Structure 1
């Protein structure tokens, strides 16, 4: 269970009996199945034609204990070796959400049978803060370019980024 407007695992609980669970505060809550695997995320740009430029494949530092999750940061670029496995998911997310555009972070669980999307955040996320260092260039201008040129590939320094 998690709030529909939460961030960083705040108020994210592992619940055995949803009907008996009492939320800690008012609001709308999302029920999701618990998916085992490694907590990760994508940092990507999405253009107005659902084109995707995958900027970062990240590991999330998430701990599980006392019936809830806690978030302890992101290792930006730590999962780049999974890029080819995650690119289809990045494209599928963009295609499934008409109108999605700009910087997008996708939380996912990486499993041996492939990644499972958990959440799509159409906004800057914690992972954004380390992208400039990992990429060697500042992605802010490219985000703004999406709203002028419409293409996620504008100004692309490296075909593999």
Structure 2
């Protein structure tokens, strides 16, 4: 059995552009984590691509040379594999287009459907889905069409298809908001009322409307007070750092899986934990950085859980009694 792991950032997706150190480091973290886990399941035939500006991987996987157009190279890898796992951003339809490529190939897609990816790539569409299914989420509106309501807590401005803290800004008052709006192209931005609480995320695996919660994560996320527009930044996270909220997070996970049956495999969900409960920020239909600390936190192999869904068609169960918090610092790219 041959698996193709398509990691966009480190695999050549930016071959004609600048390769930022932070993105490359985070991409490497996720790629090496999932490759290590897959190799430990006993799979030996794994292929990936590699940006030639980066050092070769030290793991025993085939690193395919990039000749010409990267998408043609990825298509060839998909055609040559039994299954593909895609690690890519939702922005600019990157994840959606790669998912479509996989669906049109003969290989099995170890990920969510293109319809689910397309919907969850838009914060507006995601919010509409959550509202429709009575799942508590942040109120989200298109910035260019919105007469901004007053807010006691301020506003968050971000791209509709943004990833993580990318171009995410906090405005505490109307003057700051007006200044930011005048400085950006509002066409693809959304505005959300700032919700005070604990930044968090959950990690789960999904299959046909069913889910197994794997982790309740605490995020070290903040808006930089020294930035004129208080730009958001994720410094790190604690995988299963909020185990005491398991029941709350599990309810959210179950509701989301039922609402979007196209979700498959590993899924990340960003949340704000408030005194009133969990508020969903966005759904990430792909591997997220939290995956890097999962194996140590769970004391089991998360890739094996994903493969078991593919091979057995049933949702595996886990026992959280042995789960431990794992601190993941993004700047140093290490797990402690």
What is the TM-score normalised by the length of structure 1? 0.86
2:265 to 95, 102, 106: 102
Partner-residue secondary structure (3-state), 2:311: coil
Distance 2:183 2:203 in 1: 31
- Work out whether 1:47 is the aligned partner of 2:203: no
Kindly provide the CA deviation profile for residues 135-161 of structure 1, in whole angstroms up to 9, marking residues without a partner as x. 0111012112223333222xx353767
| Deviation of the 1:6 alpha carbon | 2.5
Distance 1:141 1:129 in 2: 15
1:6 to 159, 162, 170: 162
Partner-residue secondary structure (3-state), 1:148: helix
Contact 2:266 2:287 in 1 (8 A): yes
Tell me which residue corresponds to 1:150.
313
Partner-residue secondary structure (3-state), 1:32: strand
Q: 1:35 to 1:157 in 2, by over 3 A?
A: closer
- Work out whether 1:79 is the aligned partner of 2:242: yes
Gaps of 5+ in 2: 1-156, 324-336
- Where is the helix percentage greater, Structure 1 or Structure 2? 2
Partner-residue secondary structure (3-state), 1:146: helix
Count of paired positions: 158
Contact 1:62 1:70 in 2 (8 A): yes
| Relative contact order higher in (CA < 8 Å, ≥ 6 apart) | 1
User: What is the RMSD computed on CA atoms of the aligned residues?
Assistant: 2.2
Gaps of 5+ in 1: none
What is the TM-score normalised by the length of structure 2? 0.43
| Deviation of the 1:68 alpha carbon | 2.5
Alignment of 1:89-128 (within 5 A): 89-128=252-291
Tell me which residue corresponds to 2:215.
56
Deviating runs (4+, > 6 A) in structure 1?
none
Distance 2:196 2:294 in 1: 27
